[in-house]
Amino acid sequence: MRMRKRHNLEPRLAACAAVVTEDPFSCRGEWLARYPGHTRLELELGCGKGRFTADTAAASPGTLLVAVEKVPDAMVLATERCLRRGLTNVRFIDGDAARLGDLFAPGEVSRLYINFCDPWPKSRDAKFRLTAPSFLRLYADALPLGGEICFKTDNAPLFAWSVEQFQAEGWELRDVTDDLHAQGPVGVMTDYEAKFYEEGVPIHRLVAVRTAETKTTAAGPVPRLRDAALEDARGSHFSLHLENATRQLCHAYYRNFQQDPDLFEDKSKLKPYRYDPDKVNKFFSERRNRPDRRYYYILQGDEVIGDLVYKKIDPERKSCEIGICLVNDSYKNRGLGTAAEKLALRFGFEELGMETVLADSLLSNTRSQHVLLKLGFELTAEDEHFRYFRITREQFSELLRKGSI
Ligand SMILES: C[S@@+](CC[C@H](N)C(=O)[O-])C[C@H]1O[C@@H](n2cnc3c(N)ncnc32)[C@H](O)[C@@H]1O
């Protein structure tokens, strides 16, 4: 919902100067010193009109509550609300949660609230969700070990997706519920929540705790969901992007999966694949325990078209091996395999910082060998089963320069 333009926004915000931090970047690492009399700092992202902000601050006078809101027309209502209530332990930042790293020093925030954030339902917009992996890594930086995120939403698909992101990013989940107010109202409600509660809409809530396994920004990049605008074999344009492997995407992949005959030297071993949700769950859980691997899915719009793995990742040598498997034959001979390899190479070199990328292919899989050679890989070795390929950063840069990748 678009926020209505407020009358006299500027003078109204100016009148709330006592609760608005004008230069929040200068407070980084010093919030509690700047605003003495508080023992801890809590942060609310996307406070909207501020009902939750005001009630939470009122309930804990010893806590400094900082609220970030990127729409001033909403924020002004929250600031006026807090002033009216005479609250002195709340400060507002007119800004974007994406700047968190510039606003708070590592471990400076004890608890973080995300309430009813925008769901961004289209998968190409997933990166804007406040529970997207790149945001979770920013939060992990700002929280100490044991620090927590309290997340509430009315949106069931967003909640299910967020649970997967938290788990994949190594957060410990507590107090997970799909109907927070089933036995009557619980805790401080937000403006949106109060409305949903009146309407009988169930509220999903979880608490995510930062542990030693939680990924911070130091863990490296998450796929930027970078679009690769490409042309298929018939000359029509399409675009692919990568997403972190989640359980949901894993199921979407295997629901349509068919064995690839090219991957069987002995075709008599080829058996039709039957989707079994339990087996997929087990497979997904086992995959997560491989520290030398990273898994992604390749999507065309909302459709999962392939599985991408970077394996044998060697952090010292900055080398890895890539493997791509398209969901089934219907995606072949359309230029999608080549496009997916290009995307995987770009992500490997540009985002994962690899210096060498390796690939191998069964001798019988001439189609895959053709794709690798066409892309710019060189053949380095061959044995009785496989051909082995390699591409270095230098070779990749040359391809980029020529515009062929
Ligand atoms: C759906 S409203 C919910 C407001 C409030 N939390 C509630 O529950 O009533 C989401 C709010 O988050 C704000 N928001 C969305 N993305 C943001 C971001 N990246 N940084 C700061 N605020 C954001 C929006 O402007 C909006 O006010």
What is the 231 CA–ligand 1 centroid distance (Å)?
A: 37
pLDDT tens digit sequence for 102-145: 999 999 999 999 999 999 988 778 889 999 999 999 999 999 99
- Atom number in ligand 1 closest to CA 1: 1
Structure confidence at residue 122 (pLDDT): 82
d(C-alpha 282, C-alpha 294), whole Å = 17
Question: 148: which strand partners?
Answer: 111, 209
- Atom number in ligand 1 closest to CA 193: 8
What is the 96 CA–ligand 1 centroid distance (Å)?
A: 10
Question: By mean pLDDT, which of 59-73, 210-224, 265-279 is the weakest?
Answer: 210-224
Query: Is 403 exposed, middle or buried (CB count within 10 Å of its CB: 0-12, 13-18, 19+)?
Result: exposed
DSSP 338: H
Q: What strands, in cross-sheet order, belong to the sheet with 294-300?
A: 228-231, 237-244, 294-300, 303-314, 319-326, 356-362, 386-392, 378-382
Query: 69 CB less than 6 Å from ligand 1?
Result: yes
Query: Mean pLDDT, to the nearest integer, of 312-318?
Result: 93
> Could you tell me if 101 and 25 are in contact, meaning their C-beta atoms sit under 8 angstroms apart?
no
- Label residues 66-76 b or e (16+ Cβ within 10 Å = b): bbbbeebbbbb
Which of the two residues, 288 and 320, has the higher pLDDT score? 320
pLDDT tens digit sequence for 375-384: 999 999 999 9
Mutate to test the pocket of ligand 1, among 51, 56, 70, 193 (most ligand atoms within 8 A of CB): 70
CA quadruple 46, 49, 55, 58: dihedral sign: positive
Query: 154 CB less than 6 Å from ligand 1?
Result: no
Q: Which residue's CA lies nearest to atom 10 of ligand 1?
A: 117
**From 55, 73, 94, 118, active-site residue:** 118
Query: 299 CB less than 6 Å from ligand 1?
Result: no
Which of the two residues, 67 and 402, has the higher pLDDT score? 67
> Could you tell me if 66 and 44 are in contact, meaning their C-beta atoms sit under 8 angstroms apart?
yes
DSSP sequence for 144-196 = PTT-EEEEEES-HHHHHHHHHHHHHTTPEEEEEES-TTTTS--S---HHHHHH
pLDDT class for 386, splitting at 50, 70, 90? very high
What is the 74 CA–ligand 1 centroid distance (Å)?
A: 9
Which of the two residues, 319 and 246, has the higher pLDDT score? 319
* Tally of CB atoms within 10 A around 82: 27
**Residue type at 126 in one-letter notation:** A
Query: 147 CB less than 6 Å from ligand 1?
Result: no
pLDDT tens digit sequence for 265-288: 788 888 899 999 999 999 988 887
Task: Output the furthest CA–CA distance in the chain (Å, rounded).
Answer: 79
In this model, does residue 368 exceed pLDDT 80? Answer: yes
Which of the two residues, 346 and 92, has the higher pLDDT score? 92
- Atom number in ligand 1 closest to CA 128: 19
What is the 26 CA–ligand 1 centroid distance (Å)?
A: 23
Q: Which of 400, 301, 391, 314 is nearest to 352 (CA)?
A: 314
In this model, does residue 190 exceed pLDDT 80? Answer: yes
Query: Mean pLDDT, to the nearest integer, of 166-189?
Result: 95
Query: 92 CB less than 6 Å from ligand 1?
Result: no
Active site residue 55: no
Question: 66: which strand partners?
Answer: 43, 91
- Label residues 6-28 b or e (16+ Cβ within 10 Å = b): beeeeebbeebeebbbeebeebe
DSSP sequence for 260-308 = -GGG-SSGGG-------HHHHHHHHHHHTT-TT-EEEEEEETTEEEEEE
Structure confidence at residue 5 (pLDDT): 67
Query: Please, what is the Cα angle at 287 between 260 and 278, to 5 degrees?
Result: 75
Structure confidence at residue 402 (pLDDT): 82
pLDDT tens digit sequence for 16-34: 999 999 999 999 999 999 9
Compute the residue count for the chain: 405
What is the 130 CA–ligand 1 centroid distance (Å)?
A: 9
Structure confidence at residue 96 (pLDDT): 94
pLDDT tens digit sequence for 227-237: 555 555 555 66
Query: 68 CB less than 6 Å from ligand 1?
Result: yes
pLDDT tens digit sequence for 352-366: 889 999 999 999 889
Same topology between domain 9-219 and domain 228-402: no
Residue 379 neighbours by CB under 8 Å, 6+ apart: 369, 373, 387, 388, 389
What is the 177 CA–ligand 1 centroid distance (Å)?
A: 22
- Atom number in ligand 1 closest to CA 115: 6
Q: How far apart are the first and last CA of the chain?
A: 40
Mutate to test the pocket of ligand 1, among 3, 4, 5, 45 (most ligand atoms within 8 A of CB): 45
Q: Which of 168, 76, 165 is nearest to 114 (CA)?
A: 165
Second-level CATH architecture of 228-402: 3-Layer(aba) Sandwich (3.40)
pTM of the model: 0.69
Query: 55 CB less than 6 Å from ligand 1?
Result: no
DSSP sequence for 53-113 = HHHHHHH-TTEEEEEEES-HHHHHHHHHHHHHTT--SEEEEES-GGGHHHHS-TT--SEEE
Phi, psi of 108 (to 5 degrees): -75, -25
In this model, does residue 341 exceed pLDDT 70? Answer: yes
Map residue 333 onto helix, strand or coil.
Answer: coil
Structure confidence at residue 333 (pLDDT): 77
Average pLDDT, the chain: 90
* Residue ranges per structural domain of the chain: 9-219, 228-402
pLDDT class for 222, splitting at 50, 70, 90? low
Structure confidence at residue 223 (pLDDT): 62
Structure confidence at residue 225 (pLDDT): 45
- Helices 336-346, 366-375: inter-axial angle, 10-degree rounding: 50
Query: Mean pLDDT, to the nearest integer, of 248-258?
Result: 94
Residue range 9-219 forms a domain whose CATH class is: alpha beta
Task: Tell me what percent of the residues of the chain surpass a pLDDT of 90.
Answer: 68
Structure confidence at residue 233 (pLDDT): 53
Up-side HSE of residue 169: CA atoms within 13 Å toward CB?
Answer: 31
Which of the two residues, 13 and 261, has the higher pLDDT score? 13
Query: Is 130 exposed, middle or buried (CB count within 10 Å of its CB: 0-12, 13-18, 19+)?
Result: buried
Structure confidence at residue 90 (pLDDT): 98
pLDDT class for 385, splitting at 50, 70, 90? very high
- Atom number in ligand 1 closest to CA 152: 8
- Atom number in ligand 1 closest to CA 97: 20
What is the 98 CA–ligand 1 centroid distance (Å)?
A: 12
Q: In which element (H, E) is residue 251 found?
A: helix 247-255
